[in-house]
Amino acid sequence: MTTPTDEPSAATPSPSPATSGVSRVSWRVFAPAAAVIVLLAGLAILFPDRAESVVEAVQADVIGAFGWYYVLIVAGFVLFAL
């Protein structure tokens, strides 16, 4: 005769972090991404005129290289976001 136990059986999988309500941060991804964002934001705050000229130059190069394809992609993204 067996008695019931409160322990789950070995065949019962434990809940994953996504389903258990616990979020886990992957620090190997988060830390470098946060560092890049903080660095770029800090440089843009400290040197706004230079940041503006760099962003304008990058934008002009991207639009020059991709042309109407870039404009269509951005328009599609804006419509998707709405």
Summarize pLDDT for 14-70 with one digit per residue, the tens: 655 555 666 788 999 999 999 999 999 999 999 999 999 999 999 999 888 988 898
* 6 occurs within a structural domain: no
> What pLDDT score does 66 carry?
87
* 54 occurs within a structural domain: yes
Q: Which residue has the tokens 């903080």?
A: 38
Which one-letter DSSP state was computed for residue 11? T
* 7 occurs within a structural domain: no
d(CA 53, CA 42): 16
> What pLDDT score does 71 carry?
86
Which one-letter DSSP state was computed for residue 13? P
* 47 occurs within a structural domain: yes
d(CA 82, CA 64): 27
Q: How many structural domains is the chain composed of?
A: 1
* 9 occurs within a structural domain: no
* 8 occurs within a structural domain: no
What is the pTM (predicted TM-score) of this model?
Answer: 0.54
d(CA 27, CA 30): 5
Q: Domain containing 46: what range?
A: 26-81
* 71 occurs within a structural domain: yes
* 30 occurs within a structural domain: yes
Q: Which structure tokens are listed for 5?
A: 């136990």
